[in-house]
Structure 1
Amino acid sequence: MTRRTITTALVTILAGCFGGFGGPGDSGGGNGDGDNPALARATQRGDLRLTSPAFGDGERIPDRYGRGERDVNPPLEIEGVPDDADSLALVVDDSDAVEPAGRIWVHWLVWNVPPETTTIPEDWEAAGAVEGENDFGGVGYGGPSPPDAEHTYRFKAYALDAVFDLEAGASADDLGAAMDGHVTAQTQLTGTYPP
């Protein structure tokens, strides 16, 4: 066996062991659900940007958006949507709240957002879009509610080259399967929230 053959074999073995990292469905996440593009970290791709007038990237999310307070989504601003995007999707999750099964806690799933959307107002009704099931068992936004310590919440936006035929209340797995191979740009905004 040559050195090249051994090196190739080792690379293949390592790729199999760490298949959730850097594979086609992974956006660079390393915290559970790496094969689900809806739940992986949305490493910057393209010019798409997501910001909020309520908090800056990495800053504290105001109390009123928490589950124990008003429990409404914060306002969001979207920029840099590719011209060829057919729709947008939004995902909010808590990668610090990985369940025993290794799943990331889902706070909000929204898809089929019109690509010309530039503003998501506070307490948005998701007009023209479809919302999925959060891990509180409801459909729509479920605010931060960390049980133990300050958690970091990921607000992710995706530009997609498709419109999905998913019914309201679909799961993160359903959305991830639909998104696979259709993400043309993505971005992420993070915010923290204490217990």
Structure 2
Amino acid sequence: MGINLMSDVFEEGDIIPTRHTCDDINVSPPLRWDSLPSHALSFAILCEDPDAPMGTWTHWIIFNIPPDVKELSAEIENKEHLEMGITQGVNDFGYVGYGGPCPPEGEEHRYIFRIYALDTTLNLGPGTKREEFSRALNENVLDDGRLMGIYGR
């Protein structure tokens, strides 16, 4: 079926607004979704740049989003634990929370936000990195979706 992941500030294939990048205040964009599988126990979101010079770069890991939550507002705080048991992992910049697009000068990259509906909550700590997060998803994904934006400098 697929989860429809959307943002009020950019659509699929559009430019991500500068305020959500390292060239401005570097805050997370608002996200919302639909198509919740009936037996989902949580959501998780991963944002990555597959065009990064050193390989896929992780910009955001956020998980244990309760199944009744259908959106994340903009400017989620960069702290380990949020309300309702929501937890954030470590991005490839080396800190917890969202780190926005920051491609090298003269390059335009794709930024893929992926949402996963899970049949469990993830037993992971706030220091979680992409590899551990990906292993934990393993066979627990009921459905997923994505939203891709671009940003260049």
Shorter-chain TM band? over 0.9
Distance in structure 2 (CA, Å) of the matches to 1:79 and 1:113: 14
Cα distance in 2 for partners of 1:96, 1:194 equals 11
Give SS of 1:107's match: strand
Deviations 1:46-91 (A, max 9, x none): 2411000100100000010002311100011111111100110000
1:110 partner amino acid? I
Contact 1:47 1:81 in 2 (8 A): no
Would you say 1:178 and 2:130 are equivalent positions? no
Which is helix-richer, 1 or 2? 1
Please state how far the C-alpha of 1:98 moved relative to its aligned partner: 4.8
Matches within 5 A, 1:1-195: 46-99=1-54, 103-125=55-77, 126-128=82-84, 129-148=86-105, 149-195=107-153
- Aligned counterpart, 1:13: none
Structure having the larger proportion of residues in strand: 2
Cα RMSD over matched residues?
A: 1.1
Q: What amino acid does structure 2 have at the position aligned with 1:80? A: S
Query: 1:192: Cα distance to partner?
Result: 0.5
Contact 1:72/1:142 (8 A) holds in 2: yes
Aligned residue identity for 2:62: V
Pair 150,184 (structure 1): closer, same or farther in 2 beyond 3 Å: same
Q: Report 1 or 2 for greater relative contact order, CA contacts < 8 Å, sequence distance ≥ 6.
A: 2
Aligned length, in residue pairs: 147
**What are the Cα deviations for residues 117-140 of structure 1, in whole angstroms up to 9, with x where unaligned?**
111100124432110000000000
Is the 2:3–2:146 contact (alpha carbons within 8 Å) kept by the matching residues of 1?
no
Structure 2: runs of 5 or more not aligned: none
What is the one-letter code of the residue matched to 1:49? N
Structure 2 distance, partners of 1:78, 1:116, is: 11
TM-score by length of 1: 0.73
TM-score (norm. length: structure 2): 0.92
